[in-house]
Structure 1
Amino acid sequence: MRRQDPSGRPERCRKEQHRVVEVIARPVSPVLYPASPVLCTRAPGAIPARAISGGANTETKQMEKITHLEALMFSAVLESCVDQLTILGYIMPVPHKDKTDINHVCATAEKEVYPIFFFFFYCCVPFLPGRQYASDVITVTIKKMEELGTFSSLTDANEREKARKGKFYDILIRSVLCSVLPCLNAESHSHSVHVQKEIKHNKLQETTAIVDTENNYMKKNTDLQIQLTQKKCSSAENALEKEIQNLKSKIDEEIQLHMETENFLMQEYQKVKEKLEYWIEKYQKDTAAKDEELDDLRALKAENLETMQRFAKEVRHQHLNVQPCKTALGLSLPHFQVQAWWKGTMVRRFLGPYQELEKYLKGKGEKETGKEKSGAKKKRAK
């Protein structure tokens, strides 16, 4: 925190003292210092860094060549600087009366530097000639960098300008020292008060920092616990999801197996159903055929029964007719032997009513022969 007295004098003097000490102790910066210094917006009383006359070694050293990629990068940056300086040249063109020599500027700097330095915060040397000089130096540096891979022209120009500016910066330092000396007494008086305030302020900041650190620690601890809990929950959730996926895969496998089994059983059912329909149809056909045969046999049985009854009547009739003949002839055979002989003769010779029996036996023999032939064909086919 910056402190300033109501008059503003001691604070400014202290700043000037620190800046003068920094300027004297610090070596020259390798930044470009053009022939006419460029406009610089720095803090009140700021002094450009430079080396005290005779304090720096101005011998040039052998510079290492940079790579082509680095040369392109540096060239891009320097070209951007040249473009900015060109834009400033178009905004503020150089009048003829401002093209003064640096020696004339240094001769009048001691009279003009103090009011400009403290009230307008600008360097006393005009800006526009320095802009043109800086643009030229940067252009030459870009060419050397692209051709040779070094920026020695920039350092050479820097050394030349530092040598020419020694007198100018001596004048600036003398002016600043003259303005700082009256302020040293007031500075030493207010320094102790300022130190005490700074100590209290630092203690307060330390306490605040400790409290903030504890709060941050508690907050981070809470966040870490929450993250740990979330991680555990996420791991458990992932495990459950994996188990669910495994169960789903098993269920899918069981469903697929069930579908395959069902399809197989349906196919077997269709086969069995077709076989059952075939055997039912065959049973119906065979039953119908057997019924027809049974009807034929019944009809044949009825016909045979009728024939036998007729034969019995004829036999009785013949027995009645033959009995008197036997008695007359004196035959000794029993009457039933005669009847049996006669009946056998009629059957063997198919006489009388047994003519139809001959037809029946012939038809039955033909049927049995056809069945034997069909059975032999089936056996051969098998």
Structure 2
Amino acid sequence: MTAETDAADRYFAAISSALSGLEVFMRDDRSPLYRHGIVARIVAEYIARLETSFSCWRNRLGFTDAFRISRAESGFPVFQNLLELENDRRQADARLTNIPLPGELREEMADFILRHKEFPRALQKSMAERLYLEDVKGEQTFGPFTLAQTAKVSVNPKTGRPYYLVHWASFDGTANLPLVYMVTVEDSSEAMIAQLVDGDTGKLREHIDIPLPVDGLLNPELAHRFDDFTEKNSAYSLAPMTIAVNLDRDFETLHPKQLRRVVLGPFYTAGITDNNSTVTEILAKVRKPENAWLLTWTIQEVYSKGEKPGRRGLFSSEKTTQEFYINTDDLEATRQGVSSYENHALVPHEAYQALYAAGEVQKIFAGYKVHILSNGQVISDV
């Protein structure tokens, strides 16, 4: 086993353990996100996509050496890996036609061993590529950009407008970080109000069956424009406030009431990443490599504190606009461009013990809500 192979094995074992632990946390009824059950469920879906991507990347190393991570910053794979995965997914069927079926490859491998008395490495690579392509074409991975879905539909009794909970995701190519977005948006278009809202009760019409989740924004007249908007407004460099204001400005009849962004990472793992020298040094002392990691994430939120009514005149008109809240008493909230934010950290019990023994817990986790993964369970509020 080469040093590169050993490092790759350690990295994939660590990130697999971290993502599995994060998924446990999201689905735990004691999770702070669980009070918004649908939010935790949405994030868990994207974590599952990430897990699939990492499984595919691990299999891809069976026939190619092309895999790089952002060692000094995010600890996640660099953007090029996502592009290659997406390209492989699109070409999978064509490439599979040129690779023998698994049964044929096994027979060739057995015949090669008998005739040459050595291991058939070329055939092994063909087998690895075939299994990889079969996986990557059939599974949902975390791509460079994942189009929006409408996950919930209801009616605001105060305004009489239908509102949607819509989510999408992107992998930022500069910061090399996975981002999950959710927005609650009211729709004042006459067609959607007439179709969805019962004028007598002010609730959703009972006879309407909406097969959630729905791909794209529920409003079909705005769905393509909304997809274009989200693709152009999902960069990590854009503050959530900027995205919310842009959405409010660009759509006459859409009124964003809350926008939430979940930033996954950075990820720290011993001997692989060097994005924090203190953390790396202490994690190196953890006995089991699969426990020598630390995963952080941030939940950012912007919400509307009120609505400025639009006005129409003979010579000019103004659309209804949202008054988004920024907590100016919190310098970090102002810097991030958010109403509120939460920093979280997930760490295996063994790694937490090492950090605690080194006297670094207060320093490293200052401003973070810490969650410890132990025996398949997550312990919070430590």
TM-score of Structure 1 vs Structure 2, range by shorter chain? under 0.3
The structure whose Rg is larger is 1
TM-score normalised by structure 2 residue count: 0.17
Name the one with the larger strand percent: 2
Greater per-residue helix proportion: 1
Normalised TM-score (structure 1): 0.17
